[in-house]
Structure 1
Amino acid sequence: MRNGDEVDEESTRRVVIYTDGACSGNPGPGGWGVWLRYGEHEKEMYGSEKQTTNNRMELMAAIRALESLKKPLPVLVHTDSSYVRNGITSWVENWKRRGWRTADKKPVKNVDLWQRLDEVASRYDVEWRWVRGHSGDEGNERADKLAQRGRDEAAGR
């Protein structure tokens, strides 16, 4: 919550999600983090992979957040990844039309995760909002710390 017991109005109408990914090296050990809020309820999640990329961890955060939802409520997803936001709001429809190929006919990178995100996002009314990373946004900072925890576990720290 923002101010003690005060519940912000945004999180009473829809699930508010913050996602982030982290990677040491690219590829290297990586982690993803998620902070979800709905009314007075909050949930934190994180995970990791020993050998991955930052983009894959950004995608995994969004996927795992949406997969964790139990009711078909409206959702607001905050991400500091232009790759995720632009991909799911602009690029994915063209990729599907082209058989998961880019405009220059190359296979879409991370197609397995894009297909998974597209499928799970289709179950919800999702608004995708980009937020500047490391700018003091409470939700982004929390998701970042969770992603770092996952990355550090993957790296054996």
Structure 2
Amino acid sequence: MTHDLSFPVAGEALAPLTVAHIDPATLKLVAALMDDPNPIHFDTAAARAAGLGDRPVAQGPLTFGYLLVMAARAVGGHDGLRQARIRFLGNVFAGDRLECTGVIHEVTPDAQRMTLRCRAEADGRPVADMDATFLLDGADAPSGQASPTSRNGMDL
């Protein structure tokens, strides 16, 4: 069951984001944009030689990005993002169906801050878990409170 996030409630599901088919051309483009020369992302023979199977491997930041898009849609945009932590659990391959789901994990009593717990699955295999914390509309962003391991509100 999804919920109107103007009144967030812990335990409520977010609207999922589905990528029906991870396109090999997208992986090649992302490799170029990221200046990532690792051929496992665009060359089947390289993926095979690395023991990763017969399909190119998606970049971790691509999966992270899809999870962030789903989370930001749930709260009305990315402006309130204050923290995102991801744990990669497995590989996403070209041709996989990626399903991103999530729930509201915690809401502060004043409904100013919300933490989402999200998961990405590729063809039913868990591939990433993410927790993301957002300030909601009307909440003032604390100034000067970035941790030394943070940049632009995201844990490094």
TM-score range, shorter chain: under 0.3
TM-score normalised to structure 1 length: 0.27
* Higher relative contact order (CA closer than 8 Å, sequence separation 6+): 1
Query: Considering only CA atoms, is the larger Rg found in Structure 1 or Structure 2?
Result: 2
